[in-house]
Amino acid sequence: MGESRFYLAIGEEASRGTAETTTVGFVPLLSGRLPSVEFDEAPVSEFRGESSLLGPAAWVRKRRSWQATLELPFYTEAGGEPRMMGTLLKHLFGKAVSLQKGLTTAYGHMLYPSARMYEEGSGELEDRALTLNYNLNEGETIRNYPYVGGRVVSVGFEQTPGEPLKLTAELTGQFRDTPAVALQSPVFPSDALRCDYTTLRLYTGSVLREGTAPDFTDITPDTTATRIKPDRLSIKIDSGKEDVLRLSGLDYPDRTRLGRFTVEVELTLDWEDPQTGFSSVQEFNSWLSGTETTNLLCVWDTGTEAATGYNHKLVVDIPRLVRVGGEPEYTHEKEPTITLKYQALYDDTAGYTIGCLLQNTAQSL
- Secondary structure of residue 201 in the 3-state scheme: strand
Gap between the Cα atoms of 225 and 299, Å rounded: 13
Phi then psi for residue 114, to 5 deg, are -130, 140
Examine residue 12 and state whether it is found in any structural domain, yes or no.
Answer: yes
The pLDDT of residue 248 is 83
Average pLDDT over residues 91-116: 97
Residue 255: alpha-carbon gap to chain centroid: 21
- 164 contacts 200 by C-beta, under 8 angstroms: no
The pLDDT of residue 287 is 84
Work out the percent of the chain whose per-residue pLDDT is above 70: 98
Phi then psi for residue 199, to 5 deg, are -100, 0
Domain count for the chain: 1
Examine residue 57 and state whether it is found in any structural domain, yes or no.
Answer: no
- 94 contacts 126 by C-beta, under 8 angstroms: no
Query: How confident is residue 118, by pLDDT bands cut at 50, 70 and 90?
Result: very high
Gap between the Cα atoms of 283 and 323, Å rounded: 9
User: What digits encode the pLDDT tens for the residues 23-48?
Assistant: 999 999 999 899 998 877 777 787 77
Examine residue 291 and state whether it is found in any structural domain, yes or no.
Answer: yes
Examine residue 49 and state whether it is found in any structural domain, yes or no.
Answer: no
Examine residue 275 and state whether it is found in any structural domain, yes or no.
Answer: yes
User: What digits encode the pLDDT tens for the residues 253-276?
Assistant: 899 999 999 999 999 999 987 766
**Segment (H or E) for 281:** helix 280-289
Gap between the Cα atoms of 294 and 318, Å rounded: 9
Residue 210 burial (CB count, 10 A): 10
- Find the farthest-apart pair of alpha carbons in the chain and give their distance in angstroms, rounded: 84
- 28 contacts 39 by C-beta, under 8 angstroms: no
For the chain, the distance separating the N- and C-terminal CA atoms, rounded to the nearest angstrom, is 40
Query: Which residue type, as a one-letter code, is found at position 51?
Result: S
Strand pairing partners for 279?
none
What lies within 8 Å, CB to CB, of 192 at 6+ separation is 302, 304, 312
Instruction: DSSP for 75-138, please give it.
Output: BSS-BSSTTHHHHHHHHHHEEEEEEE-TTSS-EEEEEEE-S-TTSTTSSSSTT-EEEEEEEEEE
Examine residue 101 and state whether it is found in any structural domain, yes or no.
Answer: yes
Examine residue 55 and state whether it is found in any structural domain, yes or no.
Answer: no
The pLDDT of residue 99 is 97
Examine residue 84 and state whether it is found in any structural domain, yes or no.
Answer: yes
CA–CA distances in Å: residue 251 to residues 39, 41, 63, 100, 247 = 10, 11, 5, 43, 9
Q: Which residues form the domain of 205?
A: 6-37+63-360
Instruction: DSSP for 24-60, please give it.
Output: EEEE--SS--PPEEEEEEEE-----GGGGGG----EE
The pLDDT of residue 1 is 45
The pLDDT of residue 327 is 86
Gap between the Cα atoms of 360 and 122, Å rounded: 25
The pLDDT of residue 47 is 78
CA–CA distances in Å: residue 33 to residues 71, 135, 141, 182 = 9, 12, 19, 17
User: What digits encode the pLDDT tens for the residues 200-220?
Assistant: 999 999 999 999 999 999 999
Residue 129 burial (CB count, 10 A): 26
